[in-house]
Amino acid sequence: MSNVKNPPAVIWDMDGVLIDSGDLHYYTWRDALGEELGLSLTRSEFDATFGTDNFNTLAQFIGRDPSPQELARLAGRKEAAYREGMRQHVHPIQASMEMVERLHERGWKQIVATSAPRENVLAMMDVFGFDRWFGAYVCVDDVARGKPAPDIFLKAAERLGAAPGACVVIEDSTAGVQAARSAGMACLALLTTHPAESLQAADRIVESLAGLTPDDLAALANGRDRVKMG
């Protein structure tokens, strides 16, 4: 059992942290861009954008800011295909699920904060039953700016009634780590989608949450565990 008396709030990114979804996101973006614009998309090009919202992702792919009509058409097609394939091709990340459940059993505040659109979050909650652990979420539709701006994480802290300095963000992307630090929050980075050298702003970088305890997360929030691999 954890001996944490005043536990921090834990803010979870979704893709690459709670669910293994990178392959499906890549294939659905590749197909949408190829069929709509005749563009090819390599996996390395996609990986460089993982963790950002659809506007910034699409801007990187096409080399300019998309018009509202382009964004609605291309991202809408991509996300519809993603949700259709979610049940078959997306899976929860086991070590993360085990940590979520332990924190839930101990009464810690937890929330999902993601660059994904609302429909994707709701689909995830439904497909994997995550609503039994998470009573709230924040998505890109709830804020003016997506990651790497801190808006999503600050909104998550507000919804939990927690001070930013009392929060730990669990992320996997460069943009997400930047957003957490800009929000004044501790950050634990997972090596699920990005290399360690791009996540150095995190307080701690780990392969997965396997072997970590709630006390480890509390140590991050209290500033006792800074920038190390483990």
Choose the final residue of a domain: 40, 65, 89: 89
The total of structural domains in the chain comes to: 2
Show the tokens assigned to 153: 């994480």
> Do 201 and 114 lie in a common domain?
yes
Check whether residue 43 and residue 151 sit in a common domain: no
- Are the C-beta atoms of residues 110 and 134 closer than 8 Å to each other? yes
Domain extent at residue 40: 22-89
For position 204, which CATH number holds? 3.40.50.1000
How far is residue 63's CA from residue 42's CA, in Å, rounded to a whole number? Answer: 15
Any idea what the CATH number is for the domain that residue 41 is in?
1.10.150.240
The two beta strands, 19-20 and 91-92, are antiparallel
Last residue of a domain, one of 43, 62, 89: 89
Judged by DSSP in three states, 183 sits in coil
Domain end marker among 89, 123, 141? 89
125, 134 Cβ separation under 8 angstroms: yes
Using DSSP, state whether 228 is helix, strand or coil. Answer: strand
State which amino acid sits at residue 230: G
For 159-186, how does the pLDDT look when each residue is reduced to its tens digit (9 = 90+)? Answer: 999 999 999 999 999 999 999 999 999 9
> Which of 130, 36, 119 shows the shortest CA–CA distance to 84?
119
* Model confidence pLDDT, tens digit, residues 41-86: 999 999 988 888 999 999 999 999 999 999 999 999 999 999 999 9
